[in-house]
């Protein structure tokens, strides 16, 4: 019979990150959100805890854990501050993981010790002004010239791309094209490592976002950026396929973050319902509030089971693409629905930004968009059904 109880090691990790989230992250969340400031001190402490190195081997600066360990940490951080959680998620699953999965030994030894200890951050330069869900529409291009890749193009919505500790962005670029049998043209998309101090690389002005205000997000410009030929990540022409596999893993991580957000809304609503009085008694005594919070808990529970299942399949070496899509969709919707309901439970206070539920209400919408929209997840699920 399947047992979903965490092992002692996993539970200890979850508990320690929960304590850190409550005691270190939560007290400064409202301040960073209001100021749109990156929480460098919090990120530094997360690096010292080893959170950025959870799924990487010790010989590369990591903690020797796995992707499920990372997911548990993201869930606990997501309860109190999605900006902090997405900084970790993007830094590991989008920034460092491509190097770990597809990099040469030299690339791993150069970059992973810095990224796995939180001393440096990396971004994943995939999305473009006209290439979001249709990433095959990439227009950024790169060609070899005198042993160097010369890259030109623009990227959009790139997380962790402009902080003081950002050192690297992995960029997808068209490096050639081939004619198919039917006469159509297929782009050859590759991924290339671009250090952020490379001339011609520029992180433009940060976005003024609806939510995730303490997360770093910029458009990027690459104008005649030149990097060594050895900065190619993985095989030439395999960039598109490689990033798809990275996104499959990342959807489990995003689902964990979203589950944390959904659970955070439950926890806050339960506490508030026991304290807030209306018409002579605590509002938690009213069935309308009880049923609303009960549905919220059901959503969080379902989301957790979904990402646990996807992670278990991944770690067992079994196919998990569809399960990751299901988890991402369910958890993202749970976070958004729970944030809306929590705001209703809190009434007027739910509309005040200093309250965590208000930030969840603004933050959670992107969980139905980023790293694959809900519609993309439905497409993947339907495709697996043979439709």
Domains and CATH numbers, the chain: 8-120 (1.10.540.10), 123-238 (2.40.110.10), 241-384 (1.20.140.10)
Of 152-166, 171-185, 370-384, least confident by mean pLDDT is: 171-185
The pLDDT score that the predictor gives to residue 187 is 86
CA 356 to chain centroid: 20
pLDDT digits (tens, 9 = 90+) for 117-172: 999 999 999 999 887 777 778 899 999 999 999 999 999 999 999 999 999 999 99
Q: What is the mean pLDDT of residues 281-293?
A: 96
The pLDDT score that the predictor gives to residue 354 is 87
Please give the Cα distance from 66 to 71 (Å, whole number).
9
Please report which helix (H) or strand (E) contains residue 221, including its range: strand 217-228
Residue at token pair 């990372």: 70
pLDDT digits (tens, 9 = 90+) for 302-361: 999 999 999 999 999 999 999 999 999 999 999 999 999 999 999 999 999 989 999 999
Around Cβ 51, how many Cβ atoms within 10 Å?
A: 27
Percentage of the chain beyond pLDDT 90 is 89
Q: How sure is the predictor about 224, in pLDDT bands with cuts at 50, 70 and 90?
A: very high
Mean predicted lDDT score pLDDT of the chain: 95
The pLDDT score that the predictor gives to residue 185 is 72
The pLDDT score that the predictor gives to residue 1 is 56
Q: How sure is the predictor about 272, in pLDDT bands with cuts at 50, 70 and 90?
A: very high
H helices of the chain, where?
8-20, 26-35, 40-49, 67-80, 82-89, 97-102, 105-116, 239-275, 287-315, 321-346, 356-363, 374-384
φ and ψ of 331, to 5 deg: -70, -40
Q: Which pair of tokens denotes residue 231?
A: 């900065």
Please give the Cα distance from 69 to 63 (Å, whole number).
10
pLDDT digits (tens, 9 = 90+) for 82-111: 999 999 999 999 999 999 999 999 999 999
The pLDDT score that the predictor gives to residue 132 is 73
371 is annotated as an active-site residue: yes
Q: What is the mean pLDDT of residues 285-310?
A: 97
Distance from first CA to last CA of the chain, Å, rounded?
A: 32
Please report which helix (H) or strand (E) contains residue 278, including its range: strand 277-278
Please give the Cα distance from 15 to 10 (Å, whole number).
9
Half-sphere exposure of 175 (CA within 13 A, CB side): 21
Q: Which pair of tokens denotes residue 327?
A: 């988890």
Q: Which of 128, 249, 333, 371 is catalytic?
A: 371
- pLDDT > 80? residue 31: yes
Q: Which pair of tokens denotes residue 277?
A: 């009085």
Q: Give residues with Cβ within 8 angstroms of 368, minimum separation 6.
A: 332, 333, 336, 374
The pLDDT score that the predictor gives to residue 117 is 95
Please give the Cα distance from 76 to 62 (Å, whole number).
20
State the pTM of this model: 0.95
Please give the Cα distance from 166 to 160 (Å, whole number).
7
The pLDDT score that the predictor gives to residue 130 is 80
Q: What is the mean pLDDT of residues 363-382?
A: 95
- pLDDT > 60? residue 9: yes
């Amino acid at each position: 019979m399947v047992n979903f109880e965490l092992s002692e090691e996993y539970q200890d990790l979850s508990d320690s990150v929960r304590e850190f989230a409550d005691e270190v992250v939560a007290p400064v969340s409202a301040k960073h959100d209001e100021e749109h400031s990156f929480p460098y001190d919090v990120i530094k402490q997360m690096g010292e805890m080893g959170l950025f190195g959870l799924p990487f081997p010790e010989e590369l600066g990591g903690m020797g854990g796995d992707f499920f360990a990372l997911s548990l940490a993201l869930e606990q951080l997501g309860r109190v501050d999605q900006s902090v959680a997405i900084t970790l998620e993007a830094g590991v699953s989008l920034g460092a993981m491509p190097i770990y999965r597809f990099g040469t030994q030299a690339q791993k030894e150069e970059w992973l010790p810095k990224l796995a200890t939180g001393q440096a951050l990396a971004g994943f330069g995939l999305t473009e002004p006209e290439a979001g869900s249709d990433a095959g529409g990439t227009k950024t291009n790169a060609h070899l010239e005198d042993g160097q890749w010369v890259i030109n193009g623009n990227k959009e919505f790139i997380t962790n791309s402009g902080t003081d500790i950002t050192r690297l962005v992995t960029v997808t670029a068209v490096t050639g094209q081939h004619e198919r049998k039917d006469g159509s043209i297929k782009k050859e998309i590759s991924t290339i490592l671009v250090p952020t101090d490379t001339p011609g690389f520029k992180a433009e002005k940060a976005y003024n976002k609806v939510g995730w205000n303490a997360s770093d997000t910029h458009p990027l410009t690459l104008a005649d950026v030149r990097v060594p030929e050895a900065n190619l990540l993985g095989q030439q022409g395999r960039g598109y396929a490689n990033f798809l596999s990275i996104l499959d893993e990342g959807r489990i991580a995003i689902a964990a973050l979203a589950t944390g957000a959904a659970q955070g809304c439950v926890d806050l609503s339960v506490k508030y319902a026991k304290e807030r009085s209306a018409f002579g008694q605590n509002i938690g005594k009213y069935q309308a509030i009880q049923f609303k919070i009960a549905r919220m808990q059901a959503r969080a529970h379902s989301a957790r089971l979904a990402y646990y299942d996807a992670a278990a399949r991944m770690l067992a070496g079994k196919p998990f693409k569809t399960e990751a899509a299901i988890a991402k969709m369910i958890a993202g919707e749970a976070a958004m629905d729970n944030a809306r309901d929590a705001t209703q439970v809190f009434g007027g206070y739910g509309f005040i930004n200093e309250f965590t539920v208000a930030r969840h209400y603004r933050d959670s919408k992107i969980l139905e968009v980023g790293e694959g929209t809900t519609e993309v997840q439905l497409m993947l699920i339907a495709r697996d059904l043979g439709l």
